[in-house]
Amino acid sequence: MSHILWIKNGRVIDPANQRDAVGDIFAVEGKIVDSISDTQKADATLVDAAGLVVAPGLVDIHVHFRDPGQKHNEDIRRGTEAAAAGGFTSVVCMPNTSPVCDNAGTIQRIMDKVEREAVVHVYPTGCLTIKMKGEQLAPTGQLKKAGVIAMTDDGACVQSNEIMRRAVEYAKMFDLPIMDHCQDASLTEGAVMNEGEWSLRLGLKGWPKAAEDIIVARNVILAELTGAHIHMQHISSATSVDILRRAIDRGATVSGEASPHHIEFTDADLSDYDTVFKMNPPLRTDADRESLIEGLIDGTLACIATDHAPHSPTEKDREFDAAPFGIIGLENSLASSLTTLYHGKRLGLSEVLALLTHKGAEICKLDAGTLSTGAPADICLFDPDEEWTVDANKFFSKSRNCPWHGKMLKGVVKSTYVDGQQVFDGQSINA
């Protein structure tokens, strides 16, 4: 018997198709269909979504699952469970695993494990350079054949402009977007937080915004030179937003993303040396935070991505200088984005969902983020107004390094479907 899903009475919001109305969603054999027959309705799994938003499954194009090699922090199973609990049905994994993803064998190893253990769609990326050292190009063609959907040295940044140019040219040849962690390492050695008033107050080495701005400008120049698409990850600086805005106005093939933590928190949140707020790039000033929000509003920043970066409590519970960078965010990303942008009256609900669905999918050319006919039946049901207090100790992720722990947010995921099958029911994983 074929599997049929019928979701009725929900407020269907599908930003890619400019749909926002109470209605029904149908899926047959894991694909969205326009309608089903009366006979099919009698056999369908019926879900009454009255009072809920029915949206495309969320898409995150920037996550770290630490698998292989760092499974004490996260692995494919627990990472995808966290994604499902957050309403995400498609995620793009970064290549800074152990070993790094600079060869087809490692990609195959990951894809085999995804096939066995993942509860949502997982798309791998490949390294730009061998061992992510920025010295020798990785085999782009082999990585594309193995299944990568983008190239990046995220977790590092290629410092040589010549090597970056060649990496960009090869990625363009294979029709792969480049995703870049923008950091001039010569300006950030030993730095642990934003350079400014709070770094002076706390006696911590400051990280100048120029370290990001310089590489963003470099990448704009290379995109205009080569015609390749370069996507700037986790933008944190007002100047970087301005550089991107001007480049996009000129027609440059560049894009950028903002992370939920950078549009909510600032460097003042580090006032008590809590390492849960230590991240790369660091939290900036309120003026930078406001510029990021303006960039999301006017389209300069194309999407929201979590940069979900798990670290065990034993790694994070150290003196500030020695603790690793990174936070988790998959399980509260929707709520934190809604709280800041929608309930903060900066964007409409459909506009926030666009940033969390089809806009990121389009950057990586994924068949995701829409409820179009024929699309995978990846669906998220949520209540945008329900309040909850974040308790990281109850998360599905293996790690607990969440700066929202103890905070009140608005927006609760009630159910997540992947290929028409429920994988999260609001409480537990069903896959």
Q: Are the folds of 4-53+377-386+394-424 and 57-363 the same?
A: no
Radius of gyration of the chain (CA): 21
Q: Where are the domains of the chain?
A: 4-53+377-386+394-424, 57-363
Res. 358 pLDDT band, cuts 50 70 90: very high
307 is catalytic: yes
**CA dist., res. 39 & res. 65, Å (int):** 43
Answer yes or no: is pLDDT of 236 > 80.
yes
Q: How high is the pLDDT of residue 1? A: 46
pTM tops 0.95: yes
Phi, psi (deg, nearest 5) at residue 218:
-55, -45
Helical packing angle, 238-250 and 286-298, nearest 10°: 20
- What is the CATH code of the structural domain delimited by 57-363? 3.20.20.140
Q: Which of 14, 307, 378, 419 is catalytic?
A: 307
The DSSP code for 135 is S
pLDDT tens readout for residues 312-321: 999 999 999 9
Other beta carbons less than 10 A from residue 18's beta carbon = 9
Q: How high is the pLDDT of residue 79? A: 98
Domain range 4-53+377-386+394-424, CATH architecture: Roll (2.30)
Q: What percent of the chain has pLDDT over 70?
A: 100
Res. 431 pLDDT band, cuts 50 70 90: confident
Which CB contacts under 8 angstroms, 24+ apart, belong to 162-169?
A: 163/129, 163/134, 163/135, 163/136, 163/137, 164/128, 164/218, 164/219, 164/222, 165/222, 165/225, 165/226, 166/137, 167/128, 167/129, 167/137, 167/140, 168/222, 168/223, 168/226, 168/228, 168/230, 169/226, 169/228
pLDDT tens readout for residues 41-82: 999 999 999 999 999 999 999 999 999 999 899 999 999 999
**CA dist., res. 68 & res. 163, Å (int):** 27
Q: Compute the mean pLDDT over every residue in the chain, rounded to the nearest whole number.
A: 97
For the chain, the straight-line distance linking the first and the last C-alpha, in angstroms and rounded, comes to 20
Q: How high is the pLDDT of residue 242? A: 98
pLDDT tens readout for residues 254-294: 999 999 999 999 999 999 999 999 999 999 999 999 999 99
